[in-house]
């Protein structure tokens, strides 16, 4: 204690400092809270836009170099390319799904909805042949009988499917907005990169100065190696099913997209489609569709090593939990953002846990 300073005055000074600190924290907390509430409607498209901008930044750098430094022109070209390559396939799958749902609704209202009669050979399938034949026979005799036999199960599946379709339409709209926003972010890529680097380094301290680069690499790997492969697989599978005349091809394509993102793979859909083709299509169609669907199901084994490079960005369990958790949190939109964000969080946590700069 300094000479001439009483304990009482020291306590008053400390109390004042504490009060000032509390008021500062309260004001900052209120500003953050109100800012979040103002930006909340834009958070999801901004997250998508940031993910796309980070992924496309190396491509934009090369295009800008070819265009003589015209960064705005390169951002516009990349935005148009993304709209064509991402939105068009999703819109086609979505519109096809809506059309097929409408056909199913009209058929149901006429009381004609049902499946083709199963072949007696279904009974000879191992393990579940008799059970599958029984369920298939009930469904083929008309959906009304099937609903009477399994009302709760059908109601639960139908409500879940409608929820997925609704969130899918929302996701397509948000993706379009996010692509436009990503073009704006790419236009200001350099100042935004410098700002994010300073911000992350300020948060992480001097030990992990490579975290901005680590985060960018992780986002690019997840988007290209997981989301990109899932989109390619689902589009190819939908094309094959549509050409072969499989009923509900767009709906099954949407199921392939979901299963591929959560790392289960499209083979559950492939098995069902191939079985249907061999039961009700011509032999040549069934053979060609079987070859096509098996090739599409195995294409991820070729594309993932190419797009991911050396090593996966995160364990499959992390990607699975991120996709499912994001889907439950925000519908079809979260199916993609959840995988990216949780993978990024895992990599950053691993870097912090090792207490050494990440490689």
Per-residue exposure over 138-147, b if at least 16 CB sit within 10 Å of its own CB, e if not: bbeebbeebb
For residue 358, name the pLDDT band (cuts at 50, 70, 90): very low
Mean pLDDT within 221-226: 80
Per-residue pLDDT, 359: 47
Per-residue pLDDT, 118: 62
Rounded Cα distance, 52 and 223, in Å: 8
> What's the pTM value of the predicted model, to 2 decimals?
0.65
Weakest-pLDDT range from 88-92, 94-98, 225-229: 94-98
What are the residues whose beta carbons fall under 8 Å from the beta carbon of 204, sequence distance 6 or more?
A: 211, 352
Residue boundaries of the structural domains of the chain: 43-354
Q: In 3D, which of 243, 251, 248 has the Cα closest to residue 293?
A: 243
Per-residue exposure over 204-243, b if at least 16 CB sit within 10 Å of its own CB, e if not: beeebebbbebbbbbbbbbbbbbbbbbbbbbbbbbbbbbe
Q: In 3D, which of 13, 16, 86 has the Cα closest to residue 51?
A: 86
Mean pLDDT within 241-269: 84
Query: What is the rounded radius of gyration, in angstroms, for the C-alpha atoms of the chain?
Result: 27
Rounded Cα distance, 262 and 218, in Å: 17
Per-residue pLDDT, 181: 87
What are the residues whose beta carbons fall under 8 Å from the beta carbon of 127, sequence distance 6 or more?
A: none
**Who has greater pLDDT, 154 or 32?**
32
């Amino acid at each position: 204690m300094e000479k001439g300073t009483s304990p009482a005055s020291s306590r008053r000074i400390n109390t004042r400092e504490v009060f000032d600190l509390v008021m500062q924290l309260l004001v900052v907390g209120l500003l953050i809270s109100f800012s979040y509430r103002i930006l909340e409607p834009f958070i999801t498209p901004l997250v998508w836009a940031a993910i796309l901008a980070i992924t496309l930044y190396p491509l934009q750098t090369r295009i800008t170099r070819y265009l003589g430094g015209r960064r705005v022109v390169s951002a516009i070209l990349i935005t148009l390319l993304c709209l064509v390559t991402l939105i068009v396939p999703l819109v086609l799958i979505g519109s096809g799904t809506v059309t097929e749902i409408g056909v199913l609704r009209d058929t149901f209202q006429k009381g004609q909805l049902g499946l083709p009669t199963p072949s007696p050979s279904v009974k000879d399938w191992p393990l579940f042949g008799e059970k599958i034949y029984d369920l298939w026979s009930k469904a083929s005799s008309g959906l009304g009988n099937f609903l009477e036999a399994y009302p709760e199960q059908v109601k639960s599946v139908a409500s879940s499917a409608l929820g997925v379709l609704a969130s899918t339409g929302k996701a397509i709209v948000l993706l379009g907005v996010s692509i436009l926003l990503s073009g704006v972010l790419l236009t200001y890529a350099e100042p935004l990169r410098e700002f994010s680097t300073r911000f992350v380094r300020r948060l992480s301290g001097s030990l992990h100065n490579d975290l901005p680069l680590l985060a960018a690499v992780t986002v690019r790997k997840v988007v290209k190696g997981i989301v990109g492969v899932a989109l390619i697989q689902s589009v190819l599978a939908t094309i094959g099913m549509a050409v072969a005349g499989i009923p509900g091809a767009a709906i099954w394509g949407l199921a392939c997209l979901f299963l591929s993102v959560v790392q289960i793979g499209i083979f559950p859909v492939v098995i069902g489609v191939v079985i249907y083709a061999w039961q009700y299509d011509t032999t040549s169609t069934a053979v060609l569709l079987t070859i096509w669907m098996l090739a599409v199901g195995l294409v991820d084994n070729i594309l993932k090593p190419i797009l991911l490079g050396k090593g996966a960005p995160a364990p499959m369990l992390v990607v699975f939990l991120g996709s499912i958790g994001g889907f439950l949190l925000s519908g079809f939109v979260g199916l993609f953002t959840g995988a990216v964000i949780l993978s990024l969080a895992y990599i950053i946590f691993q870097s912090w846990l090792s207490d050494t700069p990440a490689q």
